[in-house]
Amino acid sequence: MAAPAADGDEGWEEPAAEPAAGAGQGLQPHFSTVEAFVSDYLSLVSEVRTGGPLVWCASWWAHSEAVARLTALWLAWEALRLEPATGMSNWWTLHFDPHMRVLLDAERGPFASCTRGQHQEGKPGPLPLTEPAEDWKTAPVRRPVPQTG
């Protein structure tokens, strides 16, 4: 269960202390936190050459999207490490590769403001939102009708 966010982070929740993998089975995660996963595993097995179109921020923990994506990678790793045949292959291809493509994207990723591994303030902030209509949950969804022939 996620914990309420600290003051100043309304709308955000802290990730659960333990991944769902093995919950109820008494299995403990290999890594106790996302920080441990990033420092003791991900940073050691990732041989990404940064520069040009790829950027990494050493202060990854200061970027909310990066924290969310790296937590997702950690939780997926914890679950898939328990699958003996294809678990790790699936983690690399279905989780690591797509998340790292977004994280390291120097033009659009969460580290786009950071240069040469150095954290820079200036992140774009949250997505703009408007208040939904009162009946938005019950109003019919308008979808394009496929054209035949």
Question: 89-105: per-residue pLDDT in tens?
Answer: 999 999 999 999 999 99
Give 3-state DSSP helix, strand, coil % of the chain, rounded to 5. 35, 5, 60
Q: Are 70 and 64 in contact (CB under 8 A)?
A: no
Q: What is the value of pTM for the model shown? A: 0.68
Question: 90-143: per-residue pLDDT in tens?
Answer: 999 999 999 999 999 999 999 988 876 567 776 666 777 788 888 877 777 666
DSSP track, 94-109: IIIHHHHHHHTBTTTS
Calculate the average pLDDT of the chain.
81
Q: Are 50 and 104 in contact (CB under 8 A)?
A: yes
